[in-house]
Amino acid sequence: MSEKNLHIKENKIDSSVSLGGLNLKNPVMTASGTFGYGLEFTPFMDLASLGAIIVKGLSLKPRCGNPAPRIAETPCGMLNAIGLQNIGVDAFISDKLPLLADIDTHVIANIFGETVEQYCEVARRLEDCETVKAVEINISCPNVKRGGIVFGVDPVEAAKVVSTVKKSVKRLHVMTKLSPNVTDIKVMVRAVEEAGTDSISLINTLSGMAVDVEKRSPRLGTVTGGLSGPAIRPVALKMLWEAAGVAAVPLIGVGGITTTRDALEFIIAGAAAVQVGTASFMDPSASQSVAHGIDDYLKRHSMTLSELRGSLSTP
Amino acid sequence: MSEKNLHIKENKIDSSVSLGGLNLKNPVMTASGTFGYGLEFTPFMDLASLGAIIVKGLSLKPRCGNPAPRIAETPCGMLNAIGLQNIGVDAFISDKLPLLADIDTHVIANIFGETVEQYCEVARRLEDCETVKAVEINISCPNVKRGGIVFGVDPVEAAKVVSTVKKSVKRLHVMTKLSPNVTDIKVMVRAVEEAGTDSISLINTLSGMAVDVEKRSPRLGTVTGGLSGPAIRPVALKMLWEAAGVAAVPLIGVGGITTTRDALEFIIAGAAAVQVGTASFMDPSASQSVAHGIDDYLKRHSMTLSELRGSLSTP
Amino acid sequence: MKAFSRATVLYNRESECGARRLGLKLKADGLRPGHFFMLRSPNTIDPLLSRPLGLYRVLDAAGEVLPVKRQSPFSGEGIEFLYNVVGRGTTLLSEKQPGDELQLLGPLGNGFPLPQDLGTDKAIMVGGGMGIVPFYLMAALLKDGLFLFGARGAADAALAEDFSGLPCRVEVSTEDGSVGAKGLVTALLARELTPDSLVYACGPPAMLKAVAAMAASAGARSYVSLEKTMACGIGVCLGCAVKIKAEHAGARGQLKMVCSEGPVFDSVTIDWDDIC
Amino acid sequence: MKAFSRATVLYNRESECGARRLGLKLKADGLRPGHFFMLRSPNTIDPLLSRPLGLYRVLDAAGEVLPVKRQSPFSGEGIEFLYNVVGRGTTLLSEKQPGDELQLLGPLGNGFPLPQDLGTDKAIMVGGGMGIVPFYLMAALLKDGLFLFGARGAADAALAEDFSGLPCRVEVSTEDGSVGAKGLVTALLARELTPDSLVYACGPPAMLKAVAAMAASAGARSYVSLEKTMACGIGVCLGCAVKIKAEHAGARGQLKMVCSEGPVFDSVTIDWDDIC
Ligand SMILES: Cc1cc2nc3c(=O)[nH]c(=O)nc-3n(C[C@H](O)[C@H](O)[C@H](O)COP(=O)(O)OP(=O)(O)OC[C@H]3O[C@@H](n4cnc5c(N)ncnc54)[C@H](O)[C@@H]3O)c2cc1C
Ligand SMILES: Cc1cc2nc3c(=O)[nH]c(=O)nc-3n(C[C@H](O)[C@H](O)[C@H](O)COP(=O)(O)OP(=O)(O)OC[C@H]3O[C@@H](n4cnc5c(N)ncnc54)[C@H](O)[C@@H]3O)c2cc1C
Ligand SMILES: Cc1cc2nc3c(=O)[nH]c(=O)nc-3n(C[C@H](O)[C@H](O)[C@H](O)COP(=O)(O)O)c2cc1C
Ligand SMILES: Cc1cc2nc3c(=O)[nH]c(=O)nc-3n(C[C@H](O)[C@H](O)[C@H](O)COP(=O)(O)O)c2cc1C
Ligand code: FES
Ligand code: FES
């Protein structure tokens, strides 16, 4: 993992970071599914203030997703059961990508499939799109060929997806996004690392549920859904820290990051970069504020980003 | 599982419940480690309003627990790293139990050990204490004989603890408390059920962590700790619901229950009873309010507790 | 212009009918009837999500309701919301005092299509309860509006007095008959509806479904403002999906987002069976 | 009597020195110097935990500070807190208006042992910053008290004026020398300390450690009020453990709970290396 964090004097901070070949101007990205295709946010912030934007998960064919209700609020969090609704990789390439060609930050495509082959095919179609710099593999999806068990909770299946996608592409950086719904995150980290991932992002949503006690019915159309937001931050941080203990590739922290301080927790615990997710719903400029806030912290503490990374002093 | 929920007219509600032989006057208990030895709460509430109190986890020898800081607040939750500090089972029997002899509710002892033998020995010592009606086995403890891996994440080790404790006692009801830090809670449910547990409580705390970004040090003396409180409720509820799909023994829902509505979510999803934990720190009479609130709900909806249990209407 | 901004509370008082009036100091333009804002308390992350409230009226620099002119879009120095306290978010909102700050995102949504653009200068507006909200500004745009207001009782019905300065006929129905006609607002609509009516409706889903059905069978056009639980308000979370009839589905499929493609929809496009 | 109750805010204003005075209407008795309460905002679960604040003064039914009588325990119709805004919980607290309600649990803790019970009628009280809090009531109990107050600057130091009606000599030191002696409050203590002094201290850990060491080497008794992050306030979560020197450990081991076995400890029993 090559580094490029120069601490320049005179209050100019270089917070750029290289994730194994993928150079970001700063360590702040937006989490898939919480930032649309990016352009929705231009009235509220400057996309160029971000290290990268990660767009909504793409599948081979368009998907219309799950029945309503699709979201439910929980204490300091929210459940979603969007069901990976998306316009499909082809419509993304033809309709959305041209609009993103000129923005001054990297575009990363989050991809998923119901079979290993579908993952690869989506990645292959993106391989020729210059605007897309990396794919983030969402392995928190049911494997239809294996009775619907989620790829992301089985190290063998997860590794199969990653190694096959990695072989299908040349130019694209391959980031793998882990599910937190596992006994030991370190097992998953090792599995996808051996499978050749270039970086690892974690965590996706925790499995959760809520009930309307007056109607005695689930508050999500699909009964269970994914929990995100500040509530899950302690869990995400612990997994990031555990992963940092075993990973050689760069790690990207995700889960409940709302403020600069939250992002710093992950970087101090070992993250090379972070993703801001649900926070963008609370404040559409949250990711930009976090990016600026990290610069301010580095300035105030006269540190470089690489000095900060993993600087946690443990007893 | 025998039932004893009679819906009596004239606004008298019978919310008693039988957990496979253990008869509770209502389905509300207090969670271990959040209610001391019960007596601390007598200035604030009537212990007799509860179905049972579960006391702080007991080990064979006294334990002094972990270094400070031991608690850290997180969004709608808290982390603790108390380290299972306790006075030991013998001091509990000689000093605390006599004081509990006359309270008008059941006393359940939460027990743990570092080896299977220690679990059994604690249970055996409680077997002769009339005041204790049940033991709740906390399997979220490191197994020192197996390199510190937690009993509760390994179905084989968990089953070993449960079946051995079950064989060591005759009179005592054996409740097993599951850890949520596993890929598939159903596997653990089946394992402890086959091992002979009389009931199952879930969940214990989620693994979590927090960092002080100014000091760049962990906010807990042990770096990581257990996350509890409203933040984890959606995760607990989902696990309870999954467990209800496979369990034959009664289930006790725990995790983030703060209000009556929260408790009802678990009962509607299939819980026979619930435990109120961290909420007792926010309001020492929270468990009593929940018990009363459940009665009110049953009255308002003219339902019996057993009609309510598992009444979730899914699509 | 859509923006995410902080605004100071000018007033936040209960009106005669129990609903609350919230005035905020905020320079805003491009405001149209049917627009909404996402509101939240700053410095609080529980409740996590912002709450959508429809734009009611526009204020001047002194915090007074702007005398209405027939112009759209509207602009002003402040905006007024009218809301009911129903749960945690609105309870928190009701505790805000003059001088307190709120965060708000908006104006959002498409708003109602203007009668002028639909080739007419009159329209029948049907509002149930808080469904009154979009029609103050709409009535201000019409030469000859008709507002049918369905209220639960006399207290609710008092809200109609807000419309007294507007060039708009107001008919009220109450469920208990205490004011105006007794019964549902759809009975009033039945009396007025003709094939060339242009109907706008906002209110509970069952009312909207009934209005849509009545308009369709009379051969009249109708537009409805829908509600869904929202997280983002800007079309990115895909949480507020509403189902469109297959024959009206576009290339993007049978779902539309209420926040960004609505909240106002031509009622013939909606799959009402999916709504209630 | 320990209770969990709701209390109405009487006042909540910033004092000259930046610290805030919070008056609550609450019938309370059994109040002693060194007692504390756990406070929270009702209807909010974030921040989750209640916050401990020390009892400052006792109020009468009109919300006025009770003229002090030499009696303990105290009782009154209201209580006053003095607090600094340092983070989320205290910020939220500072936003409460007269008429708002708070939940509070208390009085909690052991409080300071009374001089009378220790066979004397005088004592040296050492307070650093907000460490002034327990000493208003304590000074009211003494015939001949001495309060040494360590403040950061002139603003802080103004708090000492609260003591003007009490039978108590007050000496102030400020770090910048703007009021009283320049330097740390321990320098004042050094001048006054004799082997038969009874010393009470409350303030930052480093100050308490220094006071404990000075008293010990002078052969004087000293009692300190400690702070730890608290969840329950009543000895059940075991979160606020403090380490006791091995030779003072009882049957329950080397840990004591600050909330229920403290917050006041005989300073010779504390393992100061574990504190700072
Ligand atoms: C576009 C739009 C415009 C609206 N305009 C107004 C208005 O002008 N005046 C007004 O009083 N109300 C309006 N509403 C409804 C208002 O958003 C809800 O009453 C409010 O969000 C409830 O929040 P709560 O926290 O108080 O209630 P909660 O405790 O969250 O829930 C109480 C009830 O309100 C419903 N609800 C909760 N959140 C939402 C949400 N985000 N969207 C819709 N329903 C929800 C729940 O299903 C529940 O039945 C509008 C809704 C939408 C979508
Ligand atoms: C027995 C006792 C009596 C106290 N009396 C007073 C008093 O009379 N006046 C006063 O101004 N302060 C008093 N404090 C300190 C007061 O409790 C904290 O300042 C307050 O809890 C901070 O809450 P916060 O949410 O504003 O800050 P946070 O955002 O939670 O944290 C800000 C800082 O305060 C510290 N802190 C946070 N929570 C606690 C806690 N529960 N206990 C101790 N420190 C904490 C943190 O370590 C951090 O450094 C007392 C503390 C104790 C234990
Ligand atoms: C509404 C919503 C939609 C999401 N869609 C996706 C997705 O398409 N692909 C994906 O990998 N993660 C998706 N996620 C997960 C987020 O990218 C992120 O991992 C998770 O929300 C935790 O981060 P947060 O707490 O900051 O939101 C989605 C999350 C939300 C809330
Ligand atoms: C401070 C603290 C101490 C705890 N100690 C124990 C314990 O000794 N044994 C045990 O089985 N669970 C223990 N728990 C876990 C709780 O019993 C409960 O399972 C968990 O906190 C989730 O419920 P809650 O969110 O309602 O608190 C403890 C929890 C807390 C917060
Ligand atoms: S609220 Fe997010 S898409 Fe409509
Ligand atoms: S705060 Fe819980 S034991 Fe002291």
- The low-confidence residues of chain B, meaning pLDDT below 50, are 1-10
Give me the helix-helix angle, B185-194 and B155-168, nearest 10°. Answer: 30
First-to-last CA distance in chain D? 34
Which residues, listed in sequence order, are joined to residue A77 by a DSSP beta bridge?
Answer: A74
Residue type, A150: V
CB contact B37 to A (< 8 Å): no
Quote the pLDDT of residue C154.
87
For chain D, domains (ranges, CATH) are 5-108 (2.40.30.10), 115-275 (3.40.50.80)
Q: What is the reported pLDDT for D249?
A: 82
CA of A218 to the centre of ligand 1 (A): 18
Question: Is residue C142 scored above 80 in pLDDT?
Answer: yes
Omega prior to B284 cis, within 30 of 0 = no
Q: Please answer yes or no on whether C91 and D43 come within 8 Å at the CB atom.
A: yes
Whether the CA torsion D37, D42, D45, D47 is positive or negative: it is negative
Residues of C whose CB is below 8 A from A70: 238-241
Bridge pairing between strands C221-225 and C198-202: parallel
Tell me the three-class secondary structure of chain C, residue by residue. Answer: CCEEEEEEEEEEEECCCCCEEEEEEEEEEEECCCCEEEEECCCCCCCCCCEEEECCEEECCCCCECCCCCCCCEEEEEEEEEECCCCHHHHHHHCCCCCCEEEEEEEECCCCCCCHHHCCCCCEEEEEHHHHCCHHHHHHHCCCEEEEEEECCHHHHHHHHHHHHCCEEEEEEECCCCCCEECCHHHHHHHHCCCCCEEEEECCHHHHHHHHHHHHHHCCEEEEECCCCCCCCCCCCCCCEEEECHHHCECCECEEECCCCCCEEEHHHECHHHCC
Neighboring chain B residues of D230 at a CB cutoff of 8 Å: 71
CATH superfamily to which A13-308 belongs? Aldolase class I (3.20.20.70)
- Closest approach of chain D CAs to the CA of B208, in angstroms? 16
> CA-nearest residue of chain D to C91?
D43
Q: Find where tokens 């649990």 sit.
A: D105
Q: How far is A77 from chain D (nearest CA, A)?
A: 12
Q: How many CB atoms lie within 10 A of CB D146?
A: 20
What are the Cα distances from residue B136, in Å, to B31, B63, B179, C34, C62? 10, 18, 13, 57, 65
- Asked whether the predicted pLDDT for residue C250 surpasses 80, the reply is no
Q: In degrees rounded to 5, what are phi and psi of residue A135? A: -115, 140
Q: Which two tokens stand for residue B223?
A: 């770096």
- Residue corresponding to tokens 């609704």: A85
> If contacts are CB pairs under 8 Å, which of residues 72-101 in chain B contact chain C?
75-76
How confident is the model over C244-253, as a mean pLDDT?
82
ipTM of predicted complex: 0.95
Separation between Cα atoms, residue C256 and residue A172, nearest integer Å: 32
Q: Quote the pLDDT of residue A4.
A: 41
Report the separation in Å between the CA atom of A207 and the middle of ligand 5, taken as the mean of its atom positions.
21
- B residues 259-298 lying closer than 8 A (beta carbon) to A: 261, 264-265, 268-269, 297
Contact between residue C222 and residue A22 where contact means Cβ atoms under 8 Å apart: no
Mean pLDDT of C242-270: 91
Q: Is C44 on the interface with D (CB under 8 A)?
A: yes
Residue for token digits 């996309």?
A: A47
Give the nearest chain A residue to D44 (CA atoms): A75
Q: From C47, which residue of chain B is nearest by alpha-carbon distance?
A: B76
Which of B69, B74, B91 is facing D229, going by the closest CB pair? Answer: B69
Verify whether residue B141 is a known catalytic residue.
yes
| CA–CA min distance C229, chain D (Å) | 22
Ligand minimally distant from the alpha carbon of residue C133 = 1
Choosing from A64, A120, A129, A141, the catalytic residue is A141
The DSSP secondary-structure symbol of B59 reads: -
Residue spans of the domains in chain A: they are: 13-308
Query: Which two tokens mark B270?
Result: 């299939």
Q: Which helix (H) or strand (E) holds A244?
A: helix A233-244
Per-residue confidence (pLDDT) for residue C121, from 0 to 100: 78
Spell out which residues of chain D touch residue A75, defining contact as CB-CB under 8 Å.
Answer: 45-46
Q: Where would I find the H helices in B144-269?
A: 155-168, 185-194, 233-244, 260-268
Quick one: pLDDT at residue D144?
Answer: 84
The letter for the amino acid at A200 is: I
Question: B27: part of which helix (H) or strand (E)?
Answer: none
Q: Which residue has the higher pLDDT, C60 or D16?
A: C60
> For an interface test with A, which of D43, D44, D46 has the most A Cβ atoms less than 10 Å from its Cβ?
D46
C273 touches chain D (CB under 8 A): no
pLDDT, tens digit, 9 for 90 and up, residues D67-118: 777 677 899 999 999 999 999 999 999 999 999 999 999 999 999 999 888 8
Please judge whether C234 and A40 are an interchain contact, meaning their C-beta atoms are less than 8 angstroms apart. Answer: yes
Q: Is the pLDDT of residue A13 over 90?
A: no
pTM of the model: 0.95
Query: Is D226 close to ligand 6, i.e. is its CB under 6 Å away?
Result: no
pLDDT of residue B214: 97
Q: Number of A:D CB contacts under 8 A?
A: 3
Mean pLDDT of chain D: 93
Best residue in A312, A313, A314 for a mutation probing chain B (most B CBs within 10 Å):
A312
| Atom of ligand 3 at shortest range from CA of A32 | 17
User: How distant, in Å, are the alpha carbons of A276, C82, C147 from that of C171?
Assistant: 50, 20, 6
Query: Separation of A311 CA from ligand 2 center, angstroms?
Result: 27
> Whose alpha carbon is nearest atom 23 of ligand 2?
D89
Q: Place D252 in a pLDDT band, splitting at 50, 70 and 90.
A: low
Predicted confidence at residue B2, as pLDDT, reads: 38
- Read off the tokens for B146: 């197996």
Residue A26, token pair as written in the block: 């700063």
Q: Is the CB of A180 within 6 Å of ligand 3? A: no
- Residue-wise pLDDT tens digits, D158-174: 999 999 989 899 999 99
Q: Would you call B233 an interface residue with chain A, using a CB distance cutoff of 8 Å?
A: yes
Per-residue pLDDT averaged across C197-206, rounded? 96
- Cβ atoms C269, C248 nearer than 8 A: yes
Q: pLDDT digit string (tens) for C34-89? A: 999 999 999 889 999 999 999 999 999 999 998 777 677 899 999 999 999 999 99
Residues of B in contact with D253 (CB under 8 A): 62, 64
Per-residue pLDDT tens for B214-264? 999 999 999 999 999 999 999 999 999 999 999 999 999 999 999 999 999
Cis preceding-peptide flag for B98 (omega within 30 of 0): no
Alpha carbon of C46: minimum distance to chain B alpha carbons (Å): 8
